[in-house]
Structure 1
Amino acid sequence: MDGVGDKPAWTWIFILEGLLTVLAGVASFWIIQDFPDTVKFLSEAERTVVIRRLQDDDQYSAGGEELRWKYIWQSIFDWKTWLGTNLLTVPVYVAACGMTCLVGFIADRHGIRGYLNIMGCCIGAPGYIILIASRSPALSYFGVYLAVCGIYPNIPNTIAWVSNNVEGIYKQSVTLAMVISFGNINGAYRAQDKPWFTLGHGIVLMYIGIGFICSVSFLFLLRNENAKRERGERDEVIVGVNDKQDEINGWILERKNGKYDSIADAKREKGDTWSGYRYTA
């Protein structure tokens, strides 16, 4: 296709691939379903099972949610969105794949994603320190293994961790989009820095430091927030449940946390900020 449309052949690779992506994006408006309760290819009984299963997994918005700007702003101003943006990437594959699978298995089995993130930073940081300081190809090669075994598992682990701690279809979609976007920021690997690429490795080491601080902060704040909910500091006033309690205390709770006609209304309206929601470490 060289010369077609007065364009060199290589540009058509990007044009055709990009065009396919655009068409797929347009088609997604009709192909991808918004909520289980509106899916046409499921029977009523199947929709009920899917919705109940999702709601049992603390996804209260599974039964349907109206798009509101407040959910977008909730995501943007939620500290979990920003602390979940681990700025970690860099190549190598087989060892990283094995470690990623292992970390995923352990995280799913024991639910300790925050601690695994911190461990990953502690493994990856020495790898990049070696890459910066070493002038031995063999030692640098060893450093690469440490680097990727530390940072590669943290990428899907962070996405899953943030996803587990954000409720609401629209809020979750914005939060994850931001987390994934920030996570794709990379080091500055310039041709003039070869063969050691000290600047690029130093930038990624800085990202690992940011990732470590964010993971520790994320873990601490999640545990702190759960403790506040256990103490009742996040309790809402629910009509017919606790609205007849001490008048002064009830007024304070209503001012701070809101008043709702039912627990279901509180779940649907507040998502992961509902007092009964518990964050996972």
Structure 2
Amino acid sequence: MGLTHEEAEFFETFPEDQKKAMIRKVDLRLVPVLAVLYLFSHIDRANIGNAKIEGMMEDLGMSGIQYNIVLSIFFIPYILLEVPSNVLLKKFKRPSHYIGMLVVSWGTIMTLTGLVKNFAGLMVCRVLLGVAEAGFFPGAVYLITHWYAQRQVQTRLALFYCASALSGACSGLLAFAISKMDGLGGRPGWAWIFLLEGIVTVIVGVACFFVMPDTPSLSGRWLNENERRYLVLQNIIKNAGRGTSDDGEKADKFKWGYLRDLLTDYKVYLQAWILFTASVCAYGLKFTMPSITKSMGYTSSQAQLMTIPPYVAGAVSAVALSKLSDRFQWRAPFIFGQMAVVTLGFAILLALAPNIKHQIPACYIGVVLVCIGQYPTNPAGSAWISSNLAGESKRAMGIALNIALGNCGGIVGSYIFLDKEKPGYPTGFGIGLGFAAFTLLSTVVLELSYMRLNKKRDALDEAETRENYTDEELQKMGDKSPLFKYKL
């Protein structure tokens, strides 16, 4: 689907000052909403780590690796339902309605978690939480790619994703305050953490129906007619030679061939490995951070507060490095550099954590380095794959598949930090070090693969290619088109 001469002229001559004003409107309307929702998503899945050190294990009669099992069971439905959820999202005219239903659902489940009486009840709640949360992150990433040009995507993903880092800080601060309600209404402090945070999530989910933007063509009165037209044309141009636009696409519905192409593409797995490693680091630390800081000799309340600075540092680095990556339009060096910092952080922890009470400053710096390095990795990886998949349906499926494969790291992260190994956690820190080091290698391999494919396509004669294929055939080929160039 191409542009008429008049449409192309309108797009090319759209005033720069109006373009900047339009982007500011989208930034203020879309990104904060998604960031707040993602903040609550991560608070609700990770606050179990805060509840643990407030007596949850003892009250529910849990022991051994039951805590690790509870952590990992969340990811089974979460991973399996991410791709189907993005396929379902495309059937909703208004994404805000679909995402709003997801948020209300997981908020309700989180509230009910505060009422569980045993290990089995907690397991059921974690499974249902995984079902409800599965569709939000891939859906949000897909939605962001509808509103922004590719050069703007990573910074917005980072602003949205840094909520994940801030959720760790908020969890610690909220848990510190809420735990003071211990005994109120006959409920322990850890139960109030689930109850209150779940109720607030339900309220936020209801608000989502009214304040969350949908697509540019359904933006309402907060954008004028020319701004809406520009954004719709931007999507058409972004998909030129890659598939069809998101408006009225008939030739780009769900096809099993798209899924087959994705599952047989080695580059998808290399991209997913980047997110996999980030997930191992993120979830492993998020579920265990309060226990790690408590191992330094702090009380439970002090340990909750000590989790805040590493997450704040991670959020700042996610935004700052993503701005640089968007500015240079180059993903690989930033992912490589970030994983190098993660490798250094885990190396410090592996060497010094067995004697953590006498190495508090160095170990704490190690934790901060891991957060600084791993939090910018997810938006970088998501922006990288979204720019290298063509066609709306294939991109939606590819983003969801990439995130689903990456989130398998959450299962690993749930098991690598074992209570019996504290305070040194050699398995956890050792596995984190190994995964981060291997990601350095996989990033180089992926970059060289894209460069090799681009070089082969650059050698082709474009005029001859257009003689051999019609425009429609080139569109249907998507990223397999000889004219498609991969973003590095």
TM-score under structure 2 normalisation?
A: 0.45
1:154 to 377, 384, 387: 377
- 1:62 and 2:270 matched: no
Whole-angstrom distance in 2 between the partners of 1:183 and 1:128: 20
Whole-angstrom distance in 1 between the partners of 2:327 and 2:405: 27
Q: What are the superposed Cα offsets for residues 161-190 of structure 1, whole Å, 9 maximum, x if unpaired? A: 111111122222232223222333143111
The percent of aligned pairs where both chains have the same amino acid is: 22
User: Structure 1 pair 224/9, CA: closer, same or farther in 2 (3 Å)?
Assistant: same
CA RMSD of aligned residues (A): 3.7
Letter in 2 for 1:266: E
Q: Which residue in 2 is equivalent to 1:250?
A: none
- 1:108 and 2:326 matched: yes
8 Å CA contact 1:35, 1:62 repeated in 2: no
8 Å CA contact 1:236, 1:275 repeated in 2: no
- 1:179 and 2:402 matched: yes
1:266 to 473, 476, 479: 473
TM-score under structure 1 normalisation?
A: 0.75
Q: Which moved more, 1:138-147 or 1:96-105?
A: 138-147
Alpha-carbon shift at residue 192 of structure 1 (Å): 0.5
Alpha-carbon shift at residue 48 of structure 1 (Å): 6.2
| Equivalent runs, 1:174-213 vs 2, <5 Å | 174-184=397-407, 185=409, 186-187=412-413, 188-213=416-441
Q: Which residue in 2 is equivalent to 1:279?
A: 486
8 Å CA contact 2:243, 2:476 repeated in 1: no
Alpha-carbon shift at residue 277 of structure 1 (Å): 1.5
8 Å CA contact 1:155, 1:183 repeated in 2: no
User: Structure 1 pair 151/45, CA: closer, same or farther in 2 (3 Å)?
Assistant: closer
Whole-angstrom distance in 1 between the partners of 2:114 and 2:367: 37
Which is helix-richer, 1 or 2?
A: 2
Letter in 1 for 2:254: L
8 Å CA contact 1:54, 1:60 repeated in 2: no
Give the secondary-structure state (helix, strand or coil) at the position aligned to 1:277: coil
5+ residue gaps, structure 2: 1-112, 140-208, 286-309
Whole-angstrom distance in 2 between the partners of 1:210 and 1:71: 29
5+ residue gaps, structure 1: 1-6, 244-259
User: Structure 1 pair 149/229, CA: closer, same or farther in 2 (3 Å)?
Assistant: same
| Equivalent runs, 1:1-281 vs 2, <5 Å | 9-10=115-116, 11=121, 14=125, 18=129, 21=132, 49-58=230-239, 60-63=243-246, 64=249, 65-85=252-272, 86=274, 87-88=277-278, 89-90=281-282, 91=285, 92-134=310-352, 135=355, 136-184=359-407, 185=409, 186-187=412-413, 188-232=416-460, 241-243=466-468, 260=469, 262-263=470-471, 265-281=472-488
Whole-angstrom distance in 1 between the partners of 2:418 and 2:346: 17
Alpha-carbon shift at residue 127 of structure 1 (Å): 0.8
8 Å CA contact 1:80, 1:218 repeated in 2: yes
Q: What are the superposed Cα offsets for residues 238-269 of structure 1, whole Å, 9 maximum, x if unpaired? A: 6xx524xxxxxxxxxxxxxxxx3x22x13321
